[in-house]
Amino acid sequence: MISCKKRAKYTFLLPFLFIFFVFSSAFAQAPQEMGVEGKAGVTPAAPAAGAGDGADAGVIDNGMTLFKNNCTQCHSVGADVVVGPGLQDVHKRRSEAWLLKWIKNSSALIQSGDKDAVAVFNQYAKQQMPSFAFSDDELKSIIAYIKKESESPTAAAAPSAGPEGATAGEKVGENAIGNVGGTVDLLLIVLVVVLIVLVITLLIIASVLKNYLKGKGDLTGAEQEMLERRTNFANIYKSKAVRIIVGLIFVVVLVDISIDKVMGIGIHQGYAPRQPIAFSHKLHAGDHQINCNYCHTSVYKSSSANIPSANICMNCHSQIKKESPEIQKIYRAIENNKPIEWVRVHNLPDLAYFNHSQHTKVGGVECQTCHGPIETMEVVAQYSPLTMGWCIDCHRNTPLNTEGNAYYDNLVKLHEKQSKGAFIVASNGGTECSKCHY
C-alpha cells in the first residue's frame, strides 16, 4: 500500500519534468538567436571598443563612419581588391600629404604627373576614383581608421562581409531578421510559461478536490477506487491511445523540421521590407533607364553586389527634386555621416557562397533571371526562393557560356569526347558541394 502511494507521488512529477524539458529547450534556442544578433551588432561597434591606444577613439569612430559611407563600396580596409585596391597599410605606402591630395581630387594628382598616382591609376585599369570634398581633419580621421584597422583588424567575423563591400545596410538587414526571430522566441516562452501556470493550477485544484472528497469519507467502494485511479499517472502512460498520439505528434514535428531543413522552403520568397527611403527601382531603373551597375557598381566585378552609398544618389539629387522630403532624408544622412539604413532583402545563410561576377560577367546571366523584373518594382521583393535546389536546378539546365572564353575550349572538347549531353554548368562541377560551401 505504502509503496504504491509512493509511486503515485513520483509519477505525479513526470509532467513537470516534461514541461521543464520543453521550457529549457525553448530557452536553449534564445541564446543562439542572440548570438546571431550579437554578431551583426558587434561588428560596427567593435573598433570604438578596441581603440584605446594611439589615436583618439572618437576620431577613429568618425573615420569609420566616413569610410563606411563613402569608401566601402570600392575599398576594403584589408588586402582584398573590391573596385579599388585594399587599403591595408596604405599609410605606410603613401605619405599623409599624398593621401590627402589623392582623396580630395585624385585626377588632379594624376594630371600633375605624380609617379605613384599615375602608377596606381594605370594599375586599376584607369578607373576614376570620385573626388571627396572633406576637410583635412575628416580625411585624417579616415586615415586613422585605416591605420587602426591595418594594425588590429576588427574581429575575425568582419571579413565574411567586410572585404566584399558590405554596406551598413546589410548589417541592419541582418539585425532586423534577427529581431523577428527574437520576437517569435519570446512569444514561445510566454506561451510555455502560461501553459505551466495553467497545468499547476489545475493540479492544485485536482488535489484540493481529492482531499476534500477523501475527507468526506462516505464514498462507495467504486467511487473510492476511481479516486485512487485518477491520481495514478502510470496508467495514463501505459494507455495505448496516449502513446499513439504522443508518437504521432513526435513524428509530425520531426518530419516538419526535416522538410524545412532539407528544402529550406521559401520562407523569404516575396520578402519585401519597407525601406527607410521610398526609393523606387521602377522610377530609376525602369522609367529613367539608369543602368543597374551605375548604382550596384561591383556586381560585374566582385562576389557581392553593393548597395550604393548616399554619395551616388547625390550625383543626381544634388540637383533633382531637392525639396522632396524623401530626398531630404539623403541629405540628412550625409550631414550626420550616417549610412542610409537600407533593409537587406536577399540573404543566403553563411554556409553558402555565391559570387555575382561569376554569374553576371562570366556566365552572362541577366539580373532579372534571378531577381525578377526589378525595373518594375516600387519596392524590391525577393523573387527567387534562393534555396539550394534552386541553384542546382539552374546549374543542371543551363549551358555554360563558353563562347570566346579560351579557358573552356579544351574542357568542351574533353566533354564532347566523353559524354553525350550538352556542356552545362553541372558538367563543369556546378553541383559539387565544395563549389558552393566553404
Q: Which is nearer to ligand HEC, 317 or 338 (CB)?
A: 317
Q: Which is nearer to ligand HEC, 15 or 385 (CB)?
A: 385
Q: How many CA atoms lie within 13 A of 62 on its CB side?
A: 16
Work out the widest C-alpha separation in the chain, in whole angstroms. 112
DSSP for 172-234, written as a single string: HHHHHHHHHHHHHHHHHHHHHHHHHHHHHHHHHHHHHHHHHHHHH----HHHHHHHHHHT-HH
Smallest gap from residue 38 Cβ to ligand HEC (A): 20
Q: Which is nearer to ligand HEC, 210 or 329 (CB)?
A: 329
Q: Which is nearer to ligand HEC, 160 or 239 (CB)?
A: 160
Q: b/e map of 256-272 (b: 16 or more CB within 10 Å)?
A: eeeeeeeebeeebeebe
Name the nearest CA neighbour of 107 among 91, 125, 130, 86.
130
Smallest gap from residue 419 Cβ to ligand HEC (A): 16
Smallest gap from residue 436 Cβ to ligand HEC (A): 3
Q: How many CA atoms lie within 13 A of 314 on its CB side?
A: 17
Name the nearest CA neighbour of 317 among 348, 340, 349, 344.
340
Q: Which is nearer to ligand HEC, 118 or 196 (CB)?
A: 118
Residue type, 4: C
The alpha-helical segments, DSSP class H, found in 124-167 are 136-151
Smallest gap from residue 398 Cβ to ligand HEC (A): 5
Q: Which is nearer to ligand HEC, 189 or 379 (CB)?
A: 379
Smallest gap from residue 53 Cβ to ligand HEC (A): 22
Q: Which is nearer to ligand HEC, 231 or 275 (CB)?
A: 275
Smallest gap from residue 387 Cβ to ligand HEC (A): 4
Smallest gap from residue 11 Cβ to ligand HEC (A): 39
